Structure 1
C-alpha cells in the first residue's frame, strides 16, 4: 500500500461502522447464538486434537483426523450448495446443527466412559464432515438473507469476529479444562452450546417464498454452478487463492498439538495458548475489517494478506520461545483473516443471487476440501522430516504461488 492509501485506511476506521449489521434483528440472533456455539466448537477442536496426540503420539494421526473431517466435502459440499439454492436455508441449518450436536454428545459419552479410541475420533470426524458439507454452503449463502447486500461485507467480518472470539477464548479454556478435568467435559460443553444457535434460528423472522425453485435436475444445477465459476475470471481467481491458502497455509495449525510438546516442550495448556493466539490475531483482523465499513480497497488489503501470512508462518517455524511464538501467531491470525474474509466478501458481491448457494458451495469446498488434504500432507511430512521442515516447506510453496497469482492477475488488487 502507498502512503496515501495507508492514510485513507487509517481515516476510514471507525467503531461506529464495526457493528452496523447488528441493526438487523435476524442477524443479532445469529450473532449471539453463533458466539455461544462456536465457543463450544473450539473447545472440542482443541481438546480433540490433544486427545488424538495423547492417544497416539503421532503427528501423522493428527493429519488423519483432519483428512477424515474434510473428505466428505469432496463428495457432498457441491451438492450442499445445490440444496441451499432449493430449500429454506434456515431449515437446512437447523438440521445440520442438530446433527453436529448429537455427534458431540456421542464423543463426550465415549470419553466419560473411558472407551474412546483413535478410530472413534476418526469416524466421528468423518460424520461431522458430512454434516458440515451441507451446513457450510447454506451458512455462507444465508448471510445476505439476514442483512441484504448493503451490509454484506460487515456481516461477513462480524461472522469472523464471532468465530475468532471463540477461537481466542475457547482453546485456552479447553487447555485448562483438559488439564484439570479431562477431554470429556470439553465435548459435553460443545454439545450443549449448539442449543444457542438452534434457538436463534428458530426465533428468526424471515421473508418466505421469494426464491424460485429450479425445474432442472440437481446435476444440471451443479454443472451450471461449475460453469459459472470457471467462466468468471475474478471468482475463479479468488477461489484459487483460497485453494492455495487451505492447502499450503492454514494446514500448519494441524501440527500445533505436536509443536507444543516436541518443539516448545509444553503440554495441553501450551497447545491451548497457541490455538488462542491465532484466534486473537484473527479477531483483531476481523474487527479491523468490520470497522472500515463500506470501503473500496478490498483487493489491496487482500493482496497484503496473501504475502504477510506465509512470511509470518515462515517466521513462526524458526521461533523457539513461547511468548514470541504467540506474538507471531497473532500476526498470522490477522493476515489469514484478511484473505478469507475479503475473498468471501468479494465472491458474494460478484455472484448472481440465483447461483449464490452453488457458488458458495464450491467456495466452501476449496476450504473444507483442500484443508484436510493439506492436513494429511503436512502431517505426513512432519512424521518423516520433522515439524519445522514441514512448516517451512509449506509456507515457502504458498509464498511462491501467491506471488504467481499477484503477477498473473494484477486486476485482483483493484477490486473494490
Structure 2
C-alpha cells in the first residue's frame, strides 16, 4: 500500500476547508460535552457519576478504534470522517427528541455518550492520518499549531455557550447546537478533494491488517516509547481533566459561572500555546518538547491541588493550558514523521486506544476515591507522578536519536 503525500499547490485551500470543517464539528461536540458533564455534576455532585460518564465517553472508542485505524488505511478517510459526524449527529438528535418528550434521565445521557464515543473511535484515526495527504511534511507543525489555536478559540467560546445554554434554556438546546454544527461540518468536508490511497498488495483480511499494524507499532522503538508515555501520562492527567469541576463545585461554589470559568481559563492558556506553536513553526527536538510539557503539567496540576482560592486555581489552570498545544503538536507530528504512510491510520488508532483506555481505567480508581478523600490531595499526588513521567520520557531521547 502506498499513499501519495500532498505536494499540490492547492493544498492550502484544502487545508483551510478541512480545518474549518473539523473546528465547526469540535465546537458543537464541545458545547454538548460541557453541558452533559455540568448537568451531571450539578445534578448529582458525585464522583461516581462522573466516573460513569467518563467510562461511557471513552470505552467504546477502545472497542472500535483498532478497526477504525484499519478502515482509515483501507477506505476513504474523508468519507469516514463525514460518516462519523453524521452518526454522532443522529444520536444527539435522537436524544434531543427523547428529552423533549419528557424522558429526561441521566442514563440516557450515558447511552448517547457511548454512541458518540463510537463515532469518535471511527473518526479520530482518520483525522490524524489524513493530514499528510493534505499538507506537505515541512508544513505539518505549523498547520497543527494553527489547528491548535483554532481549537482553543472555539473551546474558549464552547464553555461560555454551553454554560449560557444550560443555565438559561436547558440542555436540549445544546443538543441541537451539535446537530447543526455537525451538518455544517459534513457539508464543508464534502467540498474537499483528497488524494486517493493507492493500494499495492493490500490484504483482504481486516484481521491481517490489524495484526500488521500492531506488529509495526510495537516493533518500532520510537513508537513503542511514545505509546508507553501516552499510557502513563493520560492515566495521571485524568484527575485534573475529569475531577476539576468536582473540586470547583465542592471547594469554591456550585455556580455555573465557576464551572464555565474553569474551562475558559484552560482554553485561554491553550490559545496562547497554539499561537506560540504557529509562530515557532518547528520543534527540532520533539521528545524534549513533550518531556518539558509533561513536567510543566505535573507541576501545575499539583499546584491546582494546593490552590488557596478560586483565583489562584484559575491561574494555575490557565498556565497548564498553555503547554497542551506544544505537547500535542510535537507528539502528533513526531508520529507522522516516523511512521510509514500506509500504516498511519492504524498507528493513530493504537495511540487513541491507549489514551481512551487509560482515562477510564484511571477514573475507576480516582472517581470513587474522590468520594473518600479530597480532590486536592489526588491532584497533588498525580501531579508529582506526571512530572516524573515527563523526566523519564525525556531521558530516553538520546537513545532515540541513536536509533
TM-score by length of structure 2 reads: 0.92
Deviations 1:21-49 (A, max 9, x none): 99611111111222222222211111100
Distance 2:309 2:197 in 1: 57
Which residues of 2 match residues 261-300 of structure 1 at below 5 A?
A: 261-300=249-288
Pair 1:104 & 2:92 matched: yes
Residue number among 366, 376, 379 corresponding to 1:378 in the alignment? 366
Distance 2:56 2:120 in 1: 12
| Structure 1 residues 366 and 22, CA gap change in structure 2 (3 angstroms) | farther
| Partner in structure 2 of residue 234 of structure 1 | 222
Contact 1:299–1:414 (8 Å) recurs in 2: no
Deviations 1:57-95 (A, max 9, x none): 212111111111111122211111011000010111111
Pair 1:64 & 2:52 matched: yes
What secondary structure sits across from 1:307 in the alignment?
A: helix
Residue number among 160, 184, 190 corresponding to 1:196 in the alignment? 184
Of the structure 1 ranges 242-251 and 65-74, higher mean CA displacement relative to structure 2 is found in 242-251
Contact 1:303–1:413 (8 Å) recurs in 2: no
Which residues of 2 match residues 330-369 of structure 1 at below 5 A?
A: 330-369=318-357
What secondary structure sits across from 1:203 in the alignment?
A: coil
| Partner in structure 1 of residue 398 of structure 2 | 411
Deviations 1:325-363 (A, max 9, x none): 222111111223332221111011100111111111111
Aligned Cα root-mean-square deviation (Å): 2.1
Contact 1:38–1:162 (8 Å) recurs in 2: no
What secondary structure sits across from 1:126 in the alignment?
A: helix
Residue number among 162, 167, 172 corresponding to 2:155 in the alignment? 167
Distance 1:236 1:333 in 2: 26
| Partner in structure 2 of residue 325 of structure 1 | 313
Deviation at 1:399, TM superposition (A): 2.3
Deviation at 1:212, TM superposition (A): 4.0
Which residues of 2 match residues 4-403 of structure 1 at below 5 A?
A: 24-208=12-196, 210-212=198-200, 214-403=202-391
Deviation at 1:216, TM superposition (A): 4.5
Distance 2:197 2:325 in 1: 34
Deviation at 1:200, TM superposition (A): 1.5
Of the structure 1 ranges 353-362 and 212-221, higher mean CA displacement relative to structure 2 is found in 212-221
Distance 1:302 1:412 in 2: 16
Distance 1:386 1:129 in 2: 29
**Gaps spanning 5+ residues in structure 2: where?**
1-8
| Partner in structure 1 of residue 3 of structure 2 | none
Distance 2:110 2:201 in 1: 37
Distance 1:320 1:179 in 2: 27
Deviation at 1:310, TM superposition (A): 0.7
TM-score by length of structure 1 reads: 0.89
What secondary structure sits across from 2:372 in the alignment?
A: helix
What secondary structure sits across from 1:24 in the alignment?
A: helix
Contact 2:233–2:389 (8 Å) recurs in 1: no
